[in-house]
Amino acid sequence: MIAGPKMAHTVKSALTPVVEADVANRLSLVPIGQNPDTGRWRTEAMRSHAAPRLLYISKGQGRITIAGLTSGYGPNNLIFIPANTMYGFEVGTTVFGQMLSIPRAMASEWPEEPVHLRIRDVHAQKELFTHFDNLERELKSSKTAHTRAAHYLVGILGVFFERQLQDQPADPTARRTESSSARLVAAYTDLIERDFRSDKGVADYAAALGVTPTHLTRCCNQTCGRSAHALLSDRVLYEARLLLRDTRTPVQDIATRLGFTSPAYFTRAFQNQTGMTPTKFRRTGQH
């Protein structure tokens, strides 16, 4: 069991990503797997959601970064990500699973911090598979009250999750979440979620946390192998991709909305990370 650091969510974002505002209370279940027709940014780039997510990895392995802390995942893993928590994960060619969007109205039934469960008991693995199989069947059903049935099944899945959390022995790697570096970086990712649409830079965030930019970057490198600037840039440019993909907002307005000093600066930053200009990204149909 890996539970997230206590400090990780002391600051919650009051803002929701552009595509999340209308779906925060919608129950959905989507497959996880590598699709050569879609960009890796759809899973690997730092993002958050207005409602909690539960990842069920049924096959394969990779790495996931939650609140600035990177850890490995494998088969029969359940990873809970609270609302407004920054995360991204690798999806290799052998990875298969499902991502459950938990309605915000049901969030109180789930933990307040990120939790990573590694289900090792064979009977529990079969029970977990059955829970998701039943849930998927109801969501695809046309029978009377199938949506209500699906919500009840999410409640039962929440009970299963809570029992597994209680029954599993302490995982030695959980200590990583309690380190001073992990706590600092988790607080940093919370601040990013709150203010990434502003023009604040790493120095501003470091000052708010009472540390130097150098120390903040050193801690980020320790917990996830990325610099403080890389985490911030990744989150901002993920949002830029969403705005370019899902809206007709002019590029210059997107630049302003995300705190860039000029459209030209935004274009350079976007092209440096994606290899194409914002206009080309929109035109190539990243849908």
SS3 per residue for 19-42: CCCCCCCCCEEEEEECCCCCCCHH
pLDDT at 33: 80
Q: Which residue type is seen at 164?
A: Q
At 239-281, the pLDDT tens digits run 999 999 999 999 999 999 999 999 999 999 999 999 999 999 9
Domains of the chain: 2-175 (2.60.120.280), 192-283 (1.10.10.60)
In degrees and rounded to multiples of 5, residue 29 shows phi and psi of -140, 120
Q: Which residues of the chain have pLDDT under 50?
A: 1-21, 287
In this structure, what DSSP letter does residue 47 have? B
What pTM was computed for the model? 0.87
pLDDT at 174: 61
pLDDT at 5: 37
- The number of helix segments (H) and strand segments (E) in the chain equals 10, 9
- Rounded to whole angstroms, the Cα distance separating 164 from 23 reads 28
- Rounded to whole angstroms, the Cα distance separating 217 from 206 reads 9
At 15-31, the pLDDT tens digits run 334 444 455 679 999 99
